[in-house]
Every structure is written in C-alpha cells, then in structure tokens.
Amino acid sequence: MSQSERKLHLNAFLFGSGHHEASWRHPATKPELNLDIRYSQQLAQTAERGLMDSVFLADGYAGRSNKLEPFTQLAALAMVTERIGLIATVGTTYNEPFHVARKFASLDHISGGRAGWNIVTGAQSAAFNFSREEHPEHAERYDDAEEFVEITKRLWDSWEDDALVYDKQSGVQIENGKVHEINYKGNYYAIKGPLNIPRPPQGYPVLVQAGSSDSGKELAAKTAEVIFTAHQTLAGAQSFYADVKSRLAKYGRTAQQLNILPGFSPIIAETAAEARELEEELNALTNIEAAVGRLSARFGVDLSEYPLDGPVPLHAAKQLEEVNGNKSRHQLVVDLARSEQLTIRQLVARLAGARGHLTFTGTPVQAADVIEQWFKNGAADGFNVMPQIYPDGLDIFVDRVIPELQNRGLFRTSYEGKTLRENLGLAKPANLFQSAKTTIL
C-alpha cells in the first residue's frame, strides 16, 4: 500500500467526563452520568457518526472507580451501534484464559464481529483483591501473558467455522468432528477445552496491546494487531514506531498487520484563544495536593517535602529496574521532567491533561496538522483520541477535525466493512484445526 493510499485509524477512548483529571469539576460535564448507560451509548453513537474505527474502555481491578464493568457496558453499546468496534481492557494476571475467551467470543457474536481485546498484565494494586500477597514480577507477567493469549486463540479455534450445521432432518445441530479439545499444557496453565461457545465471527477479536516496555513491544510484535502507546514528541513516536515494526518480520508478519495508535488528548475550540481559555479553566480546577500524591506514589518519594515551584527531584525517584508496574509510562514521565526541566507544579499540569499522552490545545485545523504530521512521517498509523473533556471534546473532534482530515484524503468517508477487522484492514485468522486438516489433505 502506497503512502497516498493509507488511511488513518481513529479510536475514541471513552473516559467518563474526560481525560483531564479535573474535567468532572467543569460546568460543561455531568460526571453523575458515568454510570448511566445512555450516556456512553450517546458517545459511541457520536464516534460512529464520525466513522471512527472503535471505542475503547480501560479497566482495572483496584481502587475507587466511577465506571461500569466493560463487557456489560460494551454489550449495551453494541445494541445501539452498527459498525464501530468495541474494545475493552482485560488483564491476564488476574483472570483465566477460558473465562476471557468465552466473554470475548460472546461480545463478538453480540456485536456481529466488532470486539477487540486490549491485553494488559494488570496493576500492582490489584494483587490484594485476588488473594495474593504480591504482584508477580514484570518478566513473569509477560511470560504468563504470552501463554494466556496463545490459549485463548486456541480456545477460539476449538470450534471450526462450520461446526454448527442445524440439520433438522438428521437431528444434528453441531458436527462433533469439528469441535476440538485443545489439551494445552504450559508453564502456567493446563486447559482441556473446547470452548463452550462457537468461534467468534472475526475468528479472534482484534488483539490490542498497550505496554511499551521492551517486553511489551516484543509481545506486541508477536501477537498484537493494534498498539495503544504514549509519546510526547514526534521523534520519540518515530523511534517507537520503527522499533516495533522492525520486530514483526521474525514472527512472519508484515507492517500492515499491526496498527500503532499513540494517544492524542486534545482541547479544541473554534479559535486558539478559546481553546487556551478552556485549558486554563481545567488546570485551575486541578487538585494539586492529590496530583502531587499520585506523582509521589509513581516516583516512590514524598514530593510534598519539596517546593512546588522547584525542580522535580529525579535523583530521589525510583530507578526503572525498581518499577514493577508500568515501566514505559514511568520512563516517559521521568524523561519529560528531565528534558523540559519542569518544576513539580509544571509536571503536575502536564500530566493532568492525559497522564503522559500527547496533549494539544488549538483549533480543528491545527489539530489536523499535528495528526497529519505524525501520520505521514513514520510515527503513527492513526491515533487513540482522548478528549480532555466529554462530551463536547468528542463532538468537536467528530464535527470539525474529522471533516478536515477527510478533505485532506487522510480518513475514510464510509466504513470499509461490517467488522472491526475489516475496517482496520486486518484479515480473519485461519482456524488452526481447519488449517491442519488442509495441510494433511
């Protein structure tokens, strides 16, 4: 595919009242609607009106949260949309492959082939909610995750695509010879199978991965079809893009089989002045004390003991090898503070917008300029769009930015297909059992 034929892929990261941590306090938002399914249904319909590829729900298993469980929520979104993909985060460390395979197969059937799985290993804080005294080490979590994903794929394949026959004359509903035990035994799991639901319409839900550590990049190169990632600069995004794409060949994959979508968290208004005014309003609503507390937990040092307008004490922060959580995000925050020589107050303000993702404040045309620059210069196949304020931020992106991208020939004017795979330009995976039969024949 030539550069002129490539089209952007855009995901809408649904996140309550917005990705700015103070968005819930802004007069334009209604955080009390976060648990109202009609609110998220309207957001999904807005994203679909903009012909976006997918919507995404992040999830975790610890802390206080004002959001719904994603499988339940996405099933409800499937009922009021037709083409847009439905992606959910599900961690491997605190789940079982059979459960995850069954739930995603169900979501894919409910949605007619629009499910996607954002694969993460899970947060350290979740361990105590699952009868564990400590979080597994980083390398062990990724080894476990690789085996976990392999099992789920085999479970999805345990039903051949034509196993359901519904032959009323013979009385046969399911052709037994086309439903298979997987009999998997690995280092972490031993699973007999088969799955107790037919193969998903897409074969496998689209596999998304969000880790950007070296282990995360390797897992993505081997298994992922979409990567959600975070970068502050064009150069950093270009380096990541080239690195991950270069790893694909050893797994027999091409660059077109993996879409890299950095986070893009905009504040957009008709004029740059209006956008800056909204940014200032949001920053003024930020709870500095709470934000410093979260940053202290990330760095492993009590930042309240340091002056807010003094430099970030990076000398006291955890070293990367001491981090047993999101290593890539830790490094991104450290690099940001060091390269721009930020004060604690300035770093808090930068992270308030989108927790380390690329933030932007300006007009629709200026937003399109940034998107085009990254897309055309080897930094992105599209973007994980993260409006800092909902619903207004998604509305203006869909109504003003997307038409600008379409005018430039960068984004679709209609959906290419009915499934998420078709719209992302991804092939349906061959069934392992059917492929084995073909090879024997």
Extract the annotated binding site for FMN: 59, 89, 138, 142, 212-213
Copy the structure tokens of residue 250: 């050893």
Instruction: Of 10, 118, 116, give the one whose Cα is nearest residue 382.
Output: 10
Taking phi over 0 as left and psi of -120 to 50 as alpha, with beta for the rest, 395 belongs to alpha
In angstroms, rounded to a whole number, what is the distance separating the alpha carbons of residues 145 and 141? 6
336 near 356, Cβ under 8 Å? yes
Q: Counting runs of H as helices and runs of E as strands, what totals does the chain give?
A: 15, 13
Encoded tokens for 321? 């090898």
Which residue's entry shows tokens 């899970």?
122
Residue 171 backbone zone (phi > 0: left; psi -120 to 50: alpha; other: beta) = left
Is-contact 388 360, C-beta < 8 A?
no
- Please state, in angstroms and as integers, the Cα–Cα distance from residue 95 to each residue in 87, 142, 161, 175, 342, following that order: 17, 14, 26, 30, 39
DSSP 412: -
- What DSSP line would sit under 115-178, residue for residue? EEEEEE---GGGGGGTT-SSPPPHHHHHHHHHHHHHHHHHHHHTB-TT-EEEETTTTEEE-GGG
Q: Which two tokens mark 435?
A: 């492929």
Binding residues: 59, 89, 138, 142, 212-213
Q: By C-alpha distance, which of 263, 210, 209, 258 is closest to 374?
A: 263
Residue 345: closest CA among 397, 303, 301: 303
Whole-angstrom distance, CA of residue 11 vs CA of residue 86: 10
Residue carrying the six token digits 């037709």: 82
Q: DSSP characters for 326-365?
A: -HHHHHHHHHHHHHTT-BHHHHHHHHHHHTTSEEEEE-HH
Q: Which residue type occupies 13?
A: F
User: What are the residues facing 57 on neighbouring strands?
Assistant: 14, 88
Q: Are 308 and 288 in contact (CB under 8 A)?
A: yes
